[in-house]
Amino acid sequence: MTGMRVAVMGAGSWGTAFAMVLCDAGNEVRLWTRRPELAAAINAEHRNVDYFPTLPLPDDLVAVSDPSDAMNQAEFVVLAVPSQTLRANLKEWTLPTDAIIVSLAKGIELGTGLRMSEVIAEAASVPADRIAVVTGPNLAREIAEKQPSASVVASSSLPTAEALQAVCHTARFRAYTNPDVVGCELGGATKNVIALAVGMAIGLGLGANANASVITRGLAEISRLGIALGADPHTFSGLAGLGDLVATCISPLSRNRTFGEELGRGRTVAEISASTRQVAEGVKSCAATEDLAARHGVEMPIVAAVADVIAGRITPPEMISSLMSRSAKPERY
């Protein structure tokens, strides 16, 4: 299956990078951006001046600012807006009734504790067998540069997952199918929170031992939550679990790790947020993830400590002290 008509709703870094992948795979792609001036600039200069000013975009990528125009006759609609704005956008848009709806967002909705596929199903009345998610080690800059990478396309419907795999699999972007939507989405959302903790450790000047410990214990927390919600434990040792966690925690390209580093160096959440147009999903999702864990009786001390830092209840040095002073436990319990 090639040559599909695809709408990508959101021209941020990840939406733009994924639109480039879809073009490389031979599809007809329309990229929606809220601002008409950005759409005009993309069409005229074949560059996204806001996010990738030095990288050329495919000549056949068309940017539009009218959502109806973007989704007209689309066979796939890729949702590339931040997780906390997804529901509001879905209320404004009329999705094609027979298209496969794809989520790129990695987050847990504040208040409801819903994963993004659940938000799509509830807010837009889309059946689960037409919903898919893309997740894994997806650092947008590297994908836009056409560096080799692999990802997971997850759906409860194997035909849907395979259809999405066919439209985004390229020589530089390798897509694997996975039926475990719960595990894939939880891995993608929660790793952002763990990356904030790793970033804080780096910003405080801590070394590889501390970073590896946070990553590993973070994976244990992600796995506990996932299993409590019915995920396949094997998902967390794959691309959507360990793969995404490692990439997000070790790369300076990671928004969440970088945000955490700035916190570790003493800047405030407000100061960091005001200085960038990029969205660090973990900043919003940490509280929602903590609430979700509490509802299911799952202990997530790193997530809880990050939520306390973001809320201003403790400082990054106090976070490290609180985690290190917890009572001794077996590694697996």
Do 5-179 and 182-324 have matching folds? no
* Residue ranges, the chain, pLDDT below 50: 1
Sequence-ordered strand ranges (E) for the chain = 5-9, 28-32, 62-64, 76-79, 100-103, 131-135, 149-154, 173-178
pTM above 0.85, yes or no: yes
Catalytic (active site) residue 146: no
Distance CA 72, CA 201 (A): 47
CATH number, domain 5-179, options 3.40.718.10, 3.40.50.720, 1.10.3720.10, 3.30.1280.10: 3.40.50.720
Nearest to 50 by CA among 62, 60, 41, 63: 41
Multiple choice CATH, 182-324, 3.40.50.300, 1.10.1040.10, 3.40.50.720, 1.10.3720.10? 1.10.1040.10
Which residue, among 177, 87, 164, 196, has the nearest Cα to 136 in the 3D structure? 177
pLDDT at residue number 2: 55
pLDDT of residue 282: 85
What are the structural domain ranges in the chain? 5-179, 182-324
Quote the CA–CA distance of 10 and 29 in Å, as a whole number. 12
Give the Cα separation of 54 and 33 in Å (integer): 19
Catalytic residue (choose from 146, 191, 284, 329): 191
Cβ-proximal residues to 49 (8 Å cutoff; 6+ apart), any chain: 38, 41, 42
180 CB contacts (<8 Å, ≥6 apart)?
A: 154, 231, 232, 235
pLDDT at 139: 95
pLDDT at 1: 44
**pLDDT tens-digit series, residues 53-84:** 999 999 999 999 999 999 999 999 999 999 99
